[in-house]
Amino acid sequence: MFSENRVIMKRLLFAVSSFLLIPAGFVLPAAPPQAAQEGASAAKTLAVVNGVSITKDQVQSAAQADLERLEMQQLQLQAEYRRNQHQIIQANLDRIVEVKLLEAEAAKRSVTREELLKVEVQSKVQPANSDDVNAFYEANKAQIGVAKEQVAGQILQYLQEMRQKEAHNRFLAGLREKYGVQSFLEPLRTQVETASHPARGSQNAPLTLVEFSDFECPYCSRLFSTLKQVEKTYGDRMRIVYRQFPLANHPHAQKAAEASLCANEQGHFWEMHDLMFQEQTALAVSDLKTKAASLKLDAASFEK
């Protein structure tokens, strides 16, 4: 029916390319001399059974799924490393800024930092009481799942810590405004490839929204009407790019994704896109052919 090669199979991560960052100006080292012989060695015999050779190509083909999973795991680890690295840098920057602000204010008042916090934070925190504990427990009873008497002390401590933290943050926010804080640490960003993927809207639009979606996903379907409203609201200021993300637990998602790309080859991606989300319960191959016919697509090309 549809070519299995039409949908990029490495779809389990939203922005794989962004996880392999190469610094500007970095030049990959020259391949070792034996690398030139990789093509020839790919067919070399790894084993012989009853006179029949088992080649490297055969083993790699059999292991393809496992190797792809390993690659995905590696990419996930790299992405997690980047997130953790950025969080550590951000947390330490925040701590240093906080110390500098407290030192500046303490010096201005001729007090220590501890005395400053006692006056401006600790003294202004209203202690939590049994009524606060009761209200918190009733609001979160389903999630807590045990009798109030068993967790009352923990709830009281939690509420007190939260109030202390809120008062501390309010005081710091005032100091940041008073003394002026400029942060030049860039937020963690992920570059998402949009070239060659179905898109609508001007290439020069100031806003680009990249949607990773599954035509059989009920949550994606709920987003469909929201995106229509976004397009209506932003008009020429918004460009929307569609990235395929068919999930393995949706039996019709893969073929639906392929069908959308077949329609895209004939310039009718968005019409097929809208039809599939509007008729999400009809995504069997026969239904996809019916949709293609209703859009007057070339049937032979579509089915091929």
CB 183 within 8 A of CB 93: yes
pLDDT at 196 over 50: yes
User: In sequence order, which ranges of 63-185 are alpha helices (DSSP H)?
Assistant: 64-109, 113-120, 130-139, 141-144, 148-179
User: Token pair of 36, please?
Assistant: 């030139």
Cα–Cα distance measured from residue 53 to residue 98, given in angstroms and rounded to the nearest whole number: 68
| pLDDT score of 34 | 54
| pLDDT reported for residue 117 | 96
Report the pLDDT value the prediction gives residue 10, as an integer from 0 to 100: 38
Q: Which of left, alpha, beta for 8 (phi over 0: left; psi -120 to 50: alpha)?
A: beta
Beta bridge partners of 240: 200, 209
Number of other residues whose CB lies within 10 A of the CB of residue 101: 19
Q: Does the pLDDT at position 14 exceed 50?
A: no
pLDDT in tens, 36-79: 455 556 679 999 999 999 999 999 999 988 998 899 899 889 99
Q: Which pTM value belongs to this model?
A: 0.56
Are 277 and 215 a contacting pair, CB within 8 Å? yes
